[in-house]
């Protein structure tokens, strides 16, 4: 199953019995906005409460650390999700915020049928997909508890080691002006991790805010990585990060959609297919706050 679904494709399966739609919009009024208007049947999932377990100090874990997998299992049960559910996730930022992070967590939890709605809520609205206000009613489910996230992550120390040893390509997906250190609208310090290259996640989208085709995405990333990281063919490893481990998932999603990586435990040996990228969850929000870590600016 491809990881991206269009609004037209969603409308075709809208009455499918095992379909579960998740509304992952963000912002201080996210839940209130959801209650005012959402895709009919969609269940609200909160970035800060359900998709992260925010600690006291972002210098250790970043602004959006992953929750314990047992806590996430409880969230899925409360949302009425089962292992055979067909999940479609959307947000109001073309999948760039919590929808892609939710997709990453669901897949890493072990749920197979998960897709992100290209273009998000606005595209669904334009397409004429039924909308609704108020709460949705559904029954809780149960899950077999998983021990660990199945997809790889990297710690700050591991990222630093990989860069020092030149054994991985580290990609910063934030906007170019943030990477260059010209200004920083969210975190405390501007700049980037020394040795990281910049491929903004916005490069995954067209002028309408929808995902580029798999063919175009694959060509773009092949060129990006060939230009920025000649050693890639030797390392076969990518580490993706952003500000707090959320939009980084957008790029992992795009790489999967492009067929550029294999997100299966059954690794392929073909030269053009990379292993599933590591997500550096702490990202810039952790690195920039950690005492003694070098900060680079410019290109």
- Mind listing the pLDDT tens digit for each residue in 204-224? 999 989 999 999 999 999 888
Alpha-carbon distance of 171 to 247, in angstroms, equals 12
* CATH assignment of the domain containing 43: 3.40.250.10
Catalytic residues: 242
Per-residue confidence (pLDDT) for residue 206, from 0 to 100: 94
Among 132, 164, 191, give the residue marking a domain's end: 132
Per-residue confidence (pLDDT) for residue 263, from 0 to 100: 61
What's the number of domains the chain is made of? Answer: 2
Whole domain around residue 115: which residue ranges? Answer: 4-132
With respect to residue 299, please indicate whether it lies within any of the assigned structural domains: no
- Region 161-187: mean pLDDT is 95
Please provide the size of the chain in residues: 299
190: pLDDT strictly greater than 70: yes
Alpha-carbon distance of 187 to 190, in angstroms, equals 7
Whether residues 22 and 93 fall in one domain: yes
With respect to residue 298, please indicate whether it lies within any of the assigned structural domains: no
- Region 157-162: mean pLDDT is 96
Whether residues 48 and 97 fall in one domain: yes
Among 79, 99, 132, give the residue marking a domain's end: 132
With respect to residue 73, please indicate whether it lies within any of the assigned structural domains: yes
Conformation bin of residue 128: beta by default, left when phi > 0, alpha when psi is -120 to 50: left
Token code pair at residue 185: 């609208």
Alpha-carbon distance of 228 to 242, in angstroms, equals 17
- Region 4-8: mean pLDDT is 97
Whether residues 120 and 228 fall in one domain: no
> Model confidence at 270, in pLDDT bands (50, 70, 90)?
very low
Comparing CA positions, the residue from 145, 24, 19 lying closest to residue 84 is 19
Per-residue confidence (pLDDT) for residue 299, from 0 to 100: 82
> Model confidence at 265, in pLDDT bands (50, 70, 90)?
very low
With respect to residue 170, please indicate whether it lies within any of the assigned structural domains: yes
**DSSP states of the chain:** --SEE-HHHHHHTTT-TTEEEEE---STTHHHHHHHSEETT-EE--TTTTS----S-TTTT-SSPPPPHHHHHHHHHHTT--TT-EEEEE-SSTTTTHHHHHHHHHHHHT---EEEETTHHHHHHHHT--EE-S---------PPPSS-SS-B--HHHHHHHHHHT-SEEEE-S-HHHHHTS--SSSSS--B-TT-EE--GGGGB-TTSSBPPHHHHHHHHHHHHHHH-TTHHHH--EEEE-SSSSTHHHHHHHHHHTT-EE-SSS----TT-EEPPEE-SSHHHHHTTSTT---B---
Residue with tokens 């029954």: 139
With respect to residue 171, please indicate whether it lies within any of the assigned structural domains: yes
Whether residues 242 and 182 fall in one domain: yes
Whether residues 277 and 199 fall in one domain: yes
In tens, the pLDDT along 273-292 reads 568 899 999 999 999 999 99
Token code pair at residue 283: 């990202």
Whether residues 50 and 8 fall in one domain: yes
Whether residues 127 and 13 fall in one domain: yes
Per-residue confidence (pLDDT) for residue 266, from 0 to 100: 46
Whether residues 182 and 124 fall in one domain: no
135: pLDDT strictly greater than 70: yes
Among 100, 132, 164, give the residue marking a domain's end: 132
In tens, the pLDDT along 74-123 reads 999 999 999 899 999 999 987 678 999 999 999 999 999 999 999 999 99
Whether residues 109 and 181 fall in one domain: no
Contacts of 112 (CB under 8 A, 6+ apart): 1
Q: What percent of the chain has pLDDT over 90?
A: 82
In tens, the pLDDT along 7-61 reads 999 999 999 999 999 999 999 999 999 999 999 999 999 999 999 999 999 999 9
Alpha-carbon distance of 242 to 270, in angstroms, equals 28
> Model confidence at 153, in pLDDT bands (50, 70, 90)?
very high
Whether residues 170 and 115 fall in one domain: no
With respect to residue 143, please indicate whether it lies within any of the assigned structural domains: no
Per-residue confidence (pLDDT) for residue 144, from 0 to 100: 76
Whether residues 121 and 166 fall in one domain: no
Q: Tell which wins on pLDDT, 143 or 211.
A: 211
Residue with tokens 């963000």: 26
Q: Tell which wins on pLDDT, 4 or 236.
A: 4
With respect to residue 186, please indicate whether it lies within any of the assigned structural domains: yes
Whether residues 185 and 267 fall in one domain: yes
- Region 257-268: mean pLDDT is 66
Cβ atoms of 135 and 37 closer than 8 Å: no
With respect to residue 221, please indicate whether it lies within any of the assigned structural domains: yes
192 CB-contact burial (10 Å; exposed 0-12 / middle 13-18 / buried 19+): buried
Q: Which of these ranges, 29-33, 168-172, 268-272, has the smallest mean pLDDT?
A: 268-272
Average pLDDT value over all residues in the chain: 91
> Model confidence at 268, in pLDDT bands (50, 70, 90)?
very low
- Region 135-164: mean pLDDT is 92
CA atoms within 13 A on the CB side of 272: 9
Conformation bin of residue 151: beta by default, left when phi > 0, alpha when psi is -120 to 50: beta
Alpha-carbon distance of 169 to 261, in angstroms, equals 14
225: pLDDT strictly greater than 60: yes
Contacts of 94 (CB under 8 A, 6+ apart): 118, 119, 120, 205, 209, 210, 211
């Amino acid at each position: 199953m491809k990881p991206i679904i269009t609004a037209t494709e969603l409308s075709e399966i809208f009455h499918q019995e095992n379909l579960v739609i998740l509304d992952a919009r963000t912002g201080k009024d996210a839940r209130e906005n959801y209650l005012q208007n959402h895709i009919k049947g969609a269940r609200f999932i909160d970035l800060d409460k359900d998709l992260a377990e925010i600690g006291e100090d972002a210098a250790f874990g970043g602004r959006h650390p992953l929750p314990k997998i047992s806590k996430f299992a409880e969230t899925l049960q409360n949302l009425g999700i089962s292992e055979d559910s067909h999940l479609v996730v959307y947000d109001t930022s073309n999948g760039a915020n919590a929808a892609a992070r939710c997709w990453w967590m669901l897949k890493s939890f072990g749920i197979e049928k998960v897709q992100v709605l290209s273009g998000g809520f606005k595209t669904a609205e334009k397409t004429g997909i039924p909308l609704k206000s108020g709460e949705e009613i559904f029954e809780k489910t149960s899950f077999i508890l998983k021990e660990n996230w199945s997809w790889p992550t990297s710690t700050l120390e591991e990222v630093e080691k990989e860069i020092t040893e030149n054994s991985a390509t580290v990609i910063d997906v934030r906007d170019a002006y943030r990477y260059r250190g010209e200004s920083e609208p969210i975190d405390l310090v501007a700049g980037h991790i020394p040795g990281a290259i910049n491929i903004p996640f916005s490069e995954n989208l067209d002028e309408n805010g929808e995902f580029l085709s798999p063919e175009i995405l694959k060509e773009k990333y092949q060129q990006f990585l060939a230009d920025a990281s000649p050693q890639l063919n030797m390392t076969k490893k990518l580490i993706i990060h952003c500000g707090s481990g959320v939009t980084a998932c957008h790029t992992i999603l795009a790489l999967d959609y492009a067929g550029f990586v294999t997100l299966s435990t059954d690794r392929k040996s073909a030269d053009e297919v990379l292993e599933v990228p590591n997500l550096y969850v702490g990202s810039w929000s952790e690195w920039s706050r950690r005492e003694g870590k070098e900060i680079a600016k410019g290109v």
